[in-house]
Amino acid sequence: MGGLDDYKPALAMLALQFSYAGIALFSRGALLEGMSPRVFVVYRQAIATLVIAPLAYFTRRGKGTTCLGLKSFCMIFLVTLVGVTINQNIYFEGLYLASSTMGSAMGNLVPAITFVLASIMGLEKLKMRSLRSNAKIIGTVMCVGGAVSMALFRGPKLLNSQLLPPKSLLGSGGDGDWLLGCFLLFGSSCCWSVWLILQVPVSAIFPDHLSLTAWMCFMAAIQSASVTVFLEPNPEAWKLNSFLQLGCCLFSGIVGSAVSFFVQAWCISRRGPLFSAMFNPLGTVIVTIFAAIFLHEEIYTGSLIGGVGVIAGLYAVLWGKAKNLEETSNVESNPKMETDQTKAVQILVDESSDRSCKIDLEEPLLAEKNNKS
């Protein structure tokens, strides 16, 4: 039985990647069917709130709770606005304009973008003579270069031909939509990276991660609904016209937010956040294969080469972070050793392949919690 227990975290992460791929494909299918991306975000966050809020209430009942003061409320509101409301709205708009494959691949940029932002803010220490620092720098360049290749150098078409119906608020058809979608997906990754970094002060102010997640889901639902009221004045946009659209909202809200919370918590407690991050490119591969089969999405040479560059760069960044963790562990085991990394923030992205998955609120909080434990 011991051997089977060793494989359980890997099997759980594998199943999670398939579920994330399903969310990406179902979401794009619902968007192509005519569902508004902004309405979808509202429904997803509302369903996630209905699932997580009772869980947070009953698990914290009878225990000491963290008070939500004005400062905490303002900080959570701001972080939610950037990391969830803006993030998810531009992500799903980009997902519709580009493709689910592009959305999944762009999610792999999050570790590199986070590394750059953390370095600028002084949260990540760079030593040019250090192998791990050079690996993170090279990996970041490879990720960005791969993303640019995917967006600008499409090259010969390898598979399928896709027609984009005019359902998007920003879309007008043609290659301009593809490029705009790529920029929106890149912007979504930037918002997510900022959100990750802001978890440091937010977690310090409000350390109850489960309640924090419930509050963020609730605020995201309210913020997204307010935005959608202005951008979608037609009441018909709020209707779910098919079982696919209804199932997509339920599946992404429950599985993408609630179930993944427990799976990620268990996997991180067993193997750590780096183990989860290593499965991210697998989600990109799964999404690419199934998107080509079921959604008939176009696959271009530039996208393939760029995707390989993004994945290779991701592993280079993660390798550098792994060395970072090893040094930190050595310091903890030997208090006499001193290193700048004891003061650096350990920023590891657990779910970045599928942005509809990667946008889930719970995962980075779990990673932060794991680092503090």
In a domain, 2, yes or no: no
In a domain, 51, yes or no: yes
In a domain, 6, yes or no: no
Q: How far from 80 is each of 50, 72, 100, 194, 224, CA to CA, in Å? A: 17, 12, 24, 11, 10
In a domain, 9, yes or no: no
User: Dihedral through CA 93, CA 291, CA 152, CA 197, nearest 10?
Assistant: 60
Tell me, what DSSP letter sits at residue 335? T
Q: For residues 243 and 317, which has the higher predicted lDDT (pLDDT)?
A: 243
For residue 143, give the nearest of 84, 193, 197 by alpha carbon.
Answer: 193
CA angle 310, 313, 318 (to 5 degrees): 125
In a domain, 131, yes or no: yes
Taking a C-beta distance cutoff of 8 angstroms, is the pair 150, 182 a contact? Answer: yes
In a domain, 142, yes or no: yes
Number of domains in the chain: 1
Taking a C-beta distance cutoff of 8 angstroms, is the pair 185, 355 a contact? Answer: yes
For residue 256, give the nearest of 14, 4, 21, 10 by alpha carbon.
Answer: 21
pLDDT at 28: 87
Q: Average pLDDT, stretch 121-138?
A: 77
pTM as predicted:
0.74
* Residues 6 or more apart in contact with residue 68 via CB below 8 angstroms: 76, 206, 215
Taking a C-beta distance cutoff of 8 angstroms, is the pair 180, 170 a contact? Answer: yes
In a domain, 221, yes or no: yes
Taking a C-beta distance cutoff of 8 angstroms, is the pair 341, 132 a contact? Answer: no
Span 142-172, pLDDT tens digits: 887 887 777 667 667 665 554 445 444 444 4
In a domain, 1, yes or no: no
Taking a C-beta distance cutoff of 8 angstroms, is the pair 217, 48 a contact? Answer: yes
pLDDT-wise least confident of 93-97, 291-295, 298-302, 330-334: 330-334
Taking a C-beta distance cutoff of 8 angstroms, is the pair 283, 78 a contact? Answer: no
Domain of residue 318, residue span: 14-372
